[in-house]
Amino acid sequence: MTTELLQQVRVIDPVSGTDQLGDVLIADNYIQRIALDIADISPDTQVRDCRGLVLGPGLVDLYSHSGEPGFEERETLLSFLQAAAAGGFTRVSILPDTSPPIDNPSLVAQLLYMRGGEKEKTLPHLQLWGGLTLDVAGKQLTELADLAAGGVVGFTDGQPWENLGLVRRVLEYLQPFNKPVAFWPCDRQLMANGVMREGAESLRLGLPPIPASAETTAIAALLELVAAIGTPVHIMRVSTARSVELIAAAKAQGLPITASTTWLHLLLDTKAVKSYHTSLHLDPPLGNPSDVAALRGGVRGGVIDAIAIDHRGYTYEEKVQAFAESPAGAIGFELALPLLWQHLVETGEFTAVELWQGLSTRPAECLEQKVNAIAPGQKAELTLFDPQNTWQVNRQNLYTLSINTSWFGQQLTGRVVQTWC
C-alpha cells in the first residue's frame, strides 16, 4: 500500500466551495485524513512539501476528438489519454466523429476494451458519446437503445443539424433513456463559407465572416423544441453574447437545459486572429470582445454550466495551409488549466473555486455524474497543480502527438504535477 502525505497544500474543493491550506494523507488511492497539520504518520509514508501547490478534484472534459480509430497519425487513444492525464483530467469523453464513427455497440465495446488493455492506472476514465445518426450524417437514427445498453455516456453527433424534424424525433425517442443528449446549434446556410466571427476584425483581416445569428437562430429553434417536448438537452460550443442571453432566459423559464463553451472561447477573441495562425481557426469561431466578456460572465454566473476542452489534434501537414483552407480545431488538454489559471484566476476575474467548478463538478453534472468532495474516505480522483511551474510548449513536453496550438514554442506558467485517476 502506497501512502503519501501532501504537506501544506492549497486544497480547492468546488463541492463544498472551500479554498484552504492543510495536510492531506492519501493511502492506497483513498483520502485518509485532512487536517491543518498531520504529524503522526507511518515511517514508510512518502512526504511531499506542497507549499505553493494546488490540490483539487480531477478535471472532467465534456467532449473532445480522438484520432483513433481512423486517424492515428493525428492522435492515438493512448496519447489522447496520456495528454489528458498530463493536463489534470481524470474523465474524458470522446465525440463519435471517429472513422468509423461511434454509431454502433460493437465499436463502443472495442474502444472500451482497448482502454481496459492499458495497464497504466494513471490514465483517465474513458467515456464515449454515441452517435445520434448513422455516420453522424444527420439523416438516419442509430439504434439508440443498443448504444445506451452498450455503455455510452450520452448521445450527440457533435455536428450541426439541418433537419429539425429529425431533432424533434430524437428528443421524443430519448426521453426514456435518461442519458444526456447534446447538440451543437449552428445554421450552416447562415455560416456559408465563413471562417471568422463577423465584425470589424473580420473586415480588416479580409476573412469570410460568420454572423452571430448562425448560432443564435439555431439555439432559438432548439429551445422551442425543448419547451414543447421537455427532454433535457445540453447545448455545446456556445460562443456569442446573444446566445448567453437566450440560454439565461430559457433557464429562467425552467427549461431543462445545460450549456458549455470551450476554454479557448474564454481566453481569446477575434483580435488574436491577426496572426493568421491556423490553430485559431475554430468551429465555432473565436468571438468578438463582447462575446468573450459575456461568456466569462455566463460561466461565473452559472448560465454557462461548464468549460469544455474540445481537444482536436491535426497533423502538421493538415494545418500548414491558408487560414480559410485549414481544418478547424486545436489541442488543449495540457494547456487549458495553466492558461485559464493565469488569465482568469491570477488576474482576479475568477476565484480558484469558480474555475475548478467549471472544469470539474459542473461538466460532471452535465453528464449526470458527480465529483466527490475532497474528504476522508473518498477515492483519490485528484489533480495536483503548480501555478508557478514554467515550461515550454514543444514536442518534448507534450504527450499529444499533435502540435496544432498557437502557443507552440512559447513558455507557459503553471503545470499539473500529478493526477490521481
Q: Is 310 a catalytic residue?
A: yes
Strand order in the sheet with 125-130: 59-64, 89-94, 125-130, 154-155
* SS3 state at 41: coil
| Sign of the CA dihedral with 91 first, then 159, 366, and 99 last | negative
**Helices (H), ranges, 38-150:** 77-86, 105-117, 144-150
Contact 77, 94 (CB under 8 A): no
Question: 205 with 269: CB under 8 angstroms?
Answer: no
Distances (CA, A) of 262 to 213, 256, 305: 19, 21, 11
Distances (CA, A) of 112 to 82, 104, 107, 128, 362: 16, 13, 8, 8, 24
Polymer length of the chain: 421
HSE toward the beta carbon, residue 381, CA cutoff 13 A: 18
Per DSSP, the three-state class of 372 is: coil
Catalytic residue among 283, 305, 310, 386: 310
CA distance 232 to 216: 19
Rounded CA separation 50/9 (Å): 5
Given the C-alpha cell 444527420, which residue does it identify?
138
The residue to which cell 461568456 is assigned? 295
CB-CB contact of 18 with 11 (8 Å): yes
Within the chain, what is the greatest distance between any pair of CA atoms? 67
Q: Is 26 exposed, middle or buried (0-12, 13-18, 19+ CB in 10 A)?
A: buried
As annotated, the active-site residues are 310
